[in-house]
Structure 1
Amino acid sequence: MNIREASQSDIPDIIKVLKASLGEGSSEKTEKVWRYKHIDNPFGESLILVAEEKNEIIGVRAFMRWNWQKGDKVYSAFRAVDTATHPDHQGKGIFKKLTLNALAMGKERGDHFVFNTPNAQSKPGYLKMGWKEISKLRIHVIPVNPFYWKKEKEIMQNFSNDVPNEFLDLDKWNEDLIGSDKVFTPKGESYLNWRYVNNPMQSYFIKSNSEYFIAGYVKIHKNFKEFRISELLFTKDASRKTIKKIIMNWAKKFGVQFVSLNVPLEGTIFKRSLSGGLGPVLTFKLIDENLDQNMFLKFKSWEYSLGDLELF
């Protein structure tokens, strides 16, 4: 078995392995989506390794590049995301081999850590390879008046992502977080455009001006609908009442049963909500052994949006 770093010419064969391993239904698997996630990312191209036998790709492991910042220090991180082993080659330890090789390569290149939110099936494997479990994501849930609930599920047809005419002062937003001593993802217009406006995988409803940026979407479950706020950024001068009205108008329009969001640094928008460790578990693996990992293992140190950590 040969383990090597992938090139862009490998993308068609990588897509074939993803489809064979994961099927067509879990998420869209196309070259367009792969390039969006792993090449067009404003944080940089992903670290992608493949396993080969007889010059045929039989496994793939992708670490999406990401930045986190604490104070003035920016950390080069990876999100452990797309991974697949061809069904004909399972049981050969391909996932572990690819992952450990990727970690070694990241260490050699000066990267700092890996993070992800694995599901219950994959989490034990990560923990065996040295990942640390930090905490379940804290999420606030706001019930919607049953009067507005709707049964229709096909509510996103022919919808294109909103394109904002104006962004808030992101330099100021980043400066405020630098002063907070929190671990956060530094954000600019290029990031928000990539993550939400130009995302080919998910259509977002977006409202933005000089005081706030809000991006959310309808998530359909088996027996209910949720309006998830993936990104909520706002200045100290922003009207909480206006932001709340925008979100609840979306919730009523699409007839969801509840709204979900994280709690921003500047405080809650909704005074009445259910909250707690309702999200997936955030896990972490140090690459740079010279770093003090304790500052990352304290969940209260993280200032995150759901869009920073949810799978996409």
Structure 2
Amino acid sequence: MSYEFVPIKTDDKSIEEVTNLLRVTFPHAKKYTKEFVVWQYVNNPLGNMIGYNAFLNGELAAHYALMPIRAKVFGKEENGLLSLNTATHPNHRGKRLFTTLADRSYALASDLGFGFVIGVANAQSTPGFLKKLNFQFVGRLDAKLGWGKFARKVTDAKIDYYRVWDETSIQWRLSNPELRYKVKNNRVSSSTDNFAIQAVLKDFDSEHSLDDNQFSLGFTPLKVWIGIDHTVDWKRSFYFNIPMKIRPSPLNLIFKDLTDKDRKFEFSGVTFSALDFDAY
């Protein structure tokens, strides 16, 4: 059984193939419409998705895609990639295709000048990223549930990593065809699958000025927050850790340096929000 490994494409036929594979791989995820895949793979102002596909006899067997992003890494802005969609058709599982796709994708990314790959892995996928693909385990994202405003604290802590957003990338991120976002007072929020709970995705600072919209999240007095933000004083905020036993899975932040510098992060030097990946 000989697979053909080729870089992913974003023409109509390729988008259709990827959409179908994502639907088969994740049958309970309703978001994988063709419009959603085009939004992710083609419309990103920072560039099309990159990665690799595995084909067998003309059938798309496995797929790995990374999304171009901008981030400030150790004080310098650079292009990087968000590890995003991994899919293997049920008929082709157990063939170790993902490792091959990942290795080829990272080599391609390095050749294209991308400096890093960052991602959020669940409990099942984390060991493979760490042991087989040499990612760094940065830390587990905080998950809080509560109400009211965040109490902020003054800190001069050095931030070694945070994602860079500009007006164009923000507007693209908020144009997700499968989910609507509420924007008010520079805060981006969304609905969740849980009654009376909204998700706080990101509070933008005064550097940005987002226009409020009129979208209502309905009756959602409780708020869930996921990420890493050392400027929030949780002791003075009415938010509490969500116990691990009731979380669907721990969300682990992982990082891979694509340069020859072997860069690594301390958890205390990272800022990361739910808007920075695909939780909502």
CA distance in 2, matches of 1:261, 1:53: 39
**Is 1:218 matched with 2:188?**
no
TM-score (norm 2): 0.80
Q: Which amino acid aligns with 1:272?
A: S
Matching residue of 1:54: 57
CA distance in 2, matches of 1:261, 1:57: 34
* 2:161 aligns with one of 183, 192, 206: 183
SS in 1 for 2:251: strand
Structure 1 residues 233 and 269, CA gap change in structure 2 (3 angstroms)? farther
SS in 2 for 1:141: strand
Written as runs of structure 1 = structure 2, the 5 A alignment for 1:1-312 is: 1-9=3-11, 10-23=14-27, 25-70=28-73, 73-128=76-131, 129-143=133-147, 181-196=159-174, 198-208=175-185, 213-221=186-194, 225-235=196-206, 253-260=218-225, 267=232, 271-275=236-240, 280-289=251-260, 291-294=261-264, 297-312=265-280
Q: Which amino acid aligns with 1:2?
A: E
Matching residue of 1:247: none
| Aligned-pair CA distance for 1:258 | 3.9
CA distance in 2, matches of 1:76, 1:130: 20
Q: Is the 8 A contact 2:51 2:64 kept in 1?
A: yes
Structure 1 residues 55 and 225, CA gap change in structure 2 (3 angstroms)? same
Unaligned runs of 5+ in 2: 149-156, 210-215, 244-249
Structure 1 residues 92 and 307, CA gap change in structure 2 (3 angstroms)? same
Q: Is the 8 A contact 2:23 2:29 kept in 1?
A: no
Unaligned runs of 5+ in 1: 145-178, 239-249
Q: Which amino acid aligns with 2:198?
A: F
**How many pairs does the alignment contain?**
256
More helix by share: 1
SS in 2 for 1:8: coil
| Aligned-pair CA distance for 1:260 | 2.7
| Aligned-pair CA distance for 1:143 | 4.0
SS in 2 for 1:126: helix
Single out whichever of 85-94 and 272-281 deviates more from structure 2: 272-281
RMSD after superposition: 3.0
Structure 1 residues 287 and 201, CA gap change in structure 2 (3 angstroms)? same
SS in 1 for 2:124: coil
Structure 1 residues 27 and 127, CA gap change in structure 2 (3 angstroms)? farther
CA distance in 1, matches of 2:231, 2:129: 33
CA distance in 2, matches of 1:70, 1:288: 12
| Aligned-pair CA distance for 1:99 | 0.8
CA distance in 1, matches of 2:242, 2:141: 5
Q: Is the 8 A contact 2:141 2:228 kept in 1?
A: no
Q: Is the 8 A contact 1:4 1:51 kept in 2?
A: yes
| Aligned-pair CA distance for 1:8 | 2.1
| Aligned-pair CA distance for 1:303 | 2.2
Q: Which amino acid aligns with 2:269?
A: S
Q: Which amino acid aligns with 1:137?
A: L
SS in 1 for 2:279: coil
CA distance in 2, matches of 1:18, 1:181: 35
| Aligned-pair CA distance for 1:39 | 1.3
Structure 1 residues 8 and 310, CA gap change in structure 2 (3 angstroms)? closer
Percent identity of the aligned residues? 20
Q: Is the 8 A contact 1:110 1:288 kept in 2?
A: no
CA distance in 2, matches of 1:277, 1:104: 38
